[in-house]
Structure 1
């Protein structure tokens, strides 16, 4: 047995984690009653439309983050720290994919989500989930990065993510990562943005409604925030408002998405 170099397909993960050491993460979590989402999913499935759980989280998260400018900000600089607040909300979505035959974590950036309806969000998610990372133009720079010697690749990665104004296009303004397709109730992750949402599985649990105990689909939702940018009270507001949006989905009609809100039934377990 002898040590081997880290697979080049995972080099971007190492470069990212080196930069993530600068974060000052604090972690929050809550439980979300997904009954309204489950009903909407089921009704949509009857009409031939498939929505993943993560798309609902992206939909709710983007709108809440847009309402909290500090959560939609980033920080940079060591000697003279500076922050920037973004005009639009884009999400970095972590993907479990294969690249060069190796299972890796890839990141897709979905722009302008504060204006996107659920249908458009799902279309973007499907584009990355169904595409081949070995061929997609969106990952061409990443494939090229893997071919470079490690010192050069590391330096270029740092340079590409150093600019605060350009960072949103490269890493998003908030991040979402899900392990709910496995037996994972909850987890915390630092996604390189001020706010990172960790999505666990949806399982039937006892809940109290109007003083009566009943069974409902419940999801653990975790939030990690960078304490250098925002404080705990506002991060708690963000998590609470995302929870409320999901539990009240669809809420305010957007693009006709309320048509199936009163439907009943259970949705697919596909994330």
Structure 2
């Protein structure tokens, strides 16, 4: 008897989702708790798993289709693994009967499968890459083309046809992911609904770099986490937030909400777009806990495993464009937060120190803030506090 497979129950903040990938096709055997489908929302990717050992008997929602909370997306038959032949196997059997002797059976099956039995994921990949199915060698069951086959085909050196004109301009149109669309909407809303202003300063990174160089090996050996710069910035920002509560506040209608806790979001770039997982209660976290938390979030972001809870809330955000070589930028607010700190590339520059010119590793800092709530004096004071704490890390470590 067929069992209905439903989409997960979405949180109230998520209206619907999109079928991103079917990892299994109709007729394929699955094991209990094996991931069979990914559903992409505007915040996270949710996994749908098999309820038991069995076979996917019918796919109702194809890749690219919109699904609602708890909507039926497929049908499943438990305990019938191997009982249903796949479409590719049927194609192979048909080709073998009608074209016996013309060519090896596998080659005929591959050709038929390439044309007639592409999965939605493969069809999407072929369309996005502009590849003809007939040009791809299928390695899947029955000679079917897999997404890996399409990707591998794209990595092979391209042979330019003689008829192709030199300098041909090529365009590729692909749909924007739900996450990237949501990020775009939020950033556009931030620029239109806030009085956003950015103030800049610079920090001498030499003291922290020397401290890190001295203790990074012992730190990693003791805590199992790499000592980076981000933990120093999060600790400095947290201390500055204590001294300037308005920077840690948010606007709710006509009310100002002052938060009595410090939840710092760390912007992380992923293949799907920008995500901002949140470190909770950073005033109570050690440097090792911060570095470990950031490392875990980065790994989850790459794998698309971040949960809604991990990206919900946050009273302040830090983004590091320096990772990609940015020397200076103006970060955009992450509503309803009222401020965001931008880190940048560390660059050696000649600086005047006690009347002498020294080459120092300098970093530009940028603080974007909502001028409706935060005055320029507070914003500048907040940024200067971070600068001073970073340039004298002993005061940061000793809570001075």
Superposition TM-score, scaled by structure 1 size: 0.74
Secondary structure, counterpart of 1:201 in structure 2: coil
Q: Which residue of 1 aligns with 2:270?
A: 97
8 Å CA contact 2:197–2:370 kept in 1: the answer is yes
> 1:54 pairs with 230, 237, 252, which one?
230
8 Å CA contact 2:200–2:364 kept in 1: the answer is yes
5+ long unaligned stretches in structure 2: 1-170, 221-225
Paired with 1:252 and 1:107, the residues of 2 have a C-alpha distance of: 25
Correspondence 1:54-73 to 2 at 5 A: 54-73=230-249
Deviation, structure 1 residue 229: 1.1
Q: Against the structure 1 CA distance between its residues 253 and 54, is the aligned structure 2 distance closer, same or farther, given a 3 Å change threshold? A: closer
> 1:120 pairs with 269, 282, 289, which one?
289
> 2:349 pairs with 200, 205, 230, which one?
205
Alpha-carbon displacement from aligned partner over 1:154-203 (angstroms, at most 9, x marks no partner): xxxxxxxxxxxxxxx82411111111123311111123221110111011
Correspondence 1:3-152 to 2 at 5 A: 5-20=175-190, 21-47=192-218, 49=220, 50-77=226-253, 81-99=254-272, 104-132=273-301, 134=303, 136=305, 138-139=306-307
Alpha-carbon displacement from aligned partner over 1:202-255 (angstroms, at most 9, x marks no partner): 111112222221111111111111011110001100000000000001325459
Q: CA RMSD in A?
A: 2.4
Paired with 1:177 and 1:53, the residues of 2 have a C-alpha distance of: 12
Deviation, structure 1 residue 39: 0.9
Q: Against the structure 1 CA distance between its residues 12 and 133, is the aligned structure 2 distance closer, same or farther, given a 3 Å change threshold? A: farther
Q: Work out which structure has the larger RCO, using CA pairs closer than 8 Å and 6 or more positions apart in sequence.
A: 1
Deviation, structure 1 residue 133: 5.0
Residue-pair matches, total: 222
Alpha-carbon displacement from aligned partner over 1:78-110 (angstroms, at most 9, x marks no partner): xxx1110000111111101124xxxx1111111
Q: Against the structure 1 CA distance between its residues 135 and 60, is the aligned structure 2 distance closer, same or farther, given a 3 Å change threshold? A: same
> 1:244 pairs with 388, 393, 396, which one?
388
Correspondence 1:173-252 to 2 at 5 A: 173-192=315-334, 193-252=337-396
In our comparison, the structure showing a higher alpha carbon Rg is: 2
Deviation, structure 1 residue 141: 7.4
Q: Which residue of 2 aligns with 1:265?
A: none
8 Å CA contact 2:330–2:342 kept in 1: the answer is yes
8 Å CA contact 2:247–2:339 kept in 1: the answer is yes
Q: Which residue of 1 aligns with 2:19?
A: none
Q: Which runs of 4+ in 1 moved over 6 A?
A: none
Paired with 2:392 and 2:365, the residues of 1 have a C-alpha distance of: 15
